[in-house]
């Protein structure tokens, strides 16, 4: 059984399993799936300041904190019990493209040449890690949720704002990957 779990799962198996969390959460407790709201709950529980955004009864959403902890715990278990020791296969075209940007050292799909502590203090690393992280956080707050919340939960509930947000996420992702990221990597 463990060997079966270690293998990559096809999209047509993993996708429906993820999609089934939506009706399961709705049936079990009328809950909405989303990850970004858990950060708000953590901040509200850990920093009881006089900030209006964090003044609400976060304890009613404690299930969300357990859900996120379960994701963390599941990832930890997967790393220790289910990790595949074989090297990660990267498409040769991608290897060639990355080499054009002087990215040759990547471990577990993380390009260590640009995502490390030394790069954080260089222009390219700062743009990718700090500015990129800020834009992800800002976009999540501005859109009223993250990609998982909108694309999985919102679309399943036929919510027009989630459709608009998901389209914007996709257009932004394509634009970033194909137009902006090559420019940043060539710095």
Of the candidates 63, 57, 65, 71, the one whose C-alpha atom is nearest the C-alpha of residue 39 is 65
pTM for this model (two decimals): 0.73
Of the candidates 68, 1, 3, 86, the one whose C-alpha atom is nearest the C-alpha of residue 31 is 68
Give yes or no for a contact between 52 and 42, defined as CB atoms under 8 angstroms apart. no
Q: What is the pLDDT of residues 98-152, one digit of tens each?
A: 888 888 887 767 788 888 888 888 898 899 889 998 988 888 888 888 887 888 8
Domain definitions of the chain by residue range: 1-86, 91-187
DSSP 3-state of 95: helix
As averages over each run of 10 residues, the pLDDT of the chain (187 residues) reads 77 86 82 78 80 83 86 89 78 89 78 84 89 88 84 86 92 93 88
């Amino acid at each position: 059984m463990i060997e079966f779990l270690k293998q990559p799962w096809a999209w047509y198996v993993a996708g429906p399993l993820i999609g089934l969390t939506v009706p399961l959460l709705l049936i079990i407790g009328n809950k909405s799936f989303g990850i970004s709201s858990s950060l708000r709950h953590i901040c509200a529980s850990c920093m009881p300041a006089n900030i209006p955004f964090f003044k609400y009864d976060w304890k009613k959403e404690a299930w969300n904190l357990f859900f996120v902890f379960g994701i963390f715990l599941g990832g930890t278990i997967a790393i220790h019990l289910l990790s595949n020791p074989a090297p990660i296969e990267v498409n040769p075209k991608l290897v060639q493209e990355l080499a054009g940007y002087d990215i040759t050292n990547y471990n577990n799909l993380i390009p260590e040449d640009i995502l490390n502590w030394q790069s954080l203090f260089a222009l390219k690393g700062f743009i990718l890690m700090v500015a990129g992280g800020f834009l992800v956080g800002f976009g999540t707050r501005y859109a009223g949720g993250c990609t998982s919340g909108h694309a999985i939960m919102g679309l399943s509930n036929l919510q027009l704002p989630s459709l608009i947000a998901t389209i914007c996420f996709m257009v932004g992702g394509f634009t970033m990957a194909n137009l902006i990221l090559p420019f940043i990597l060539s710095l």
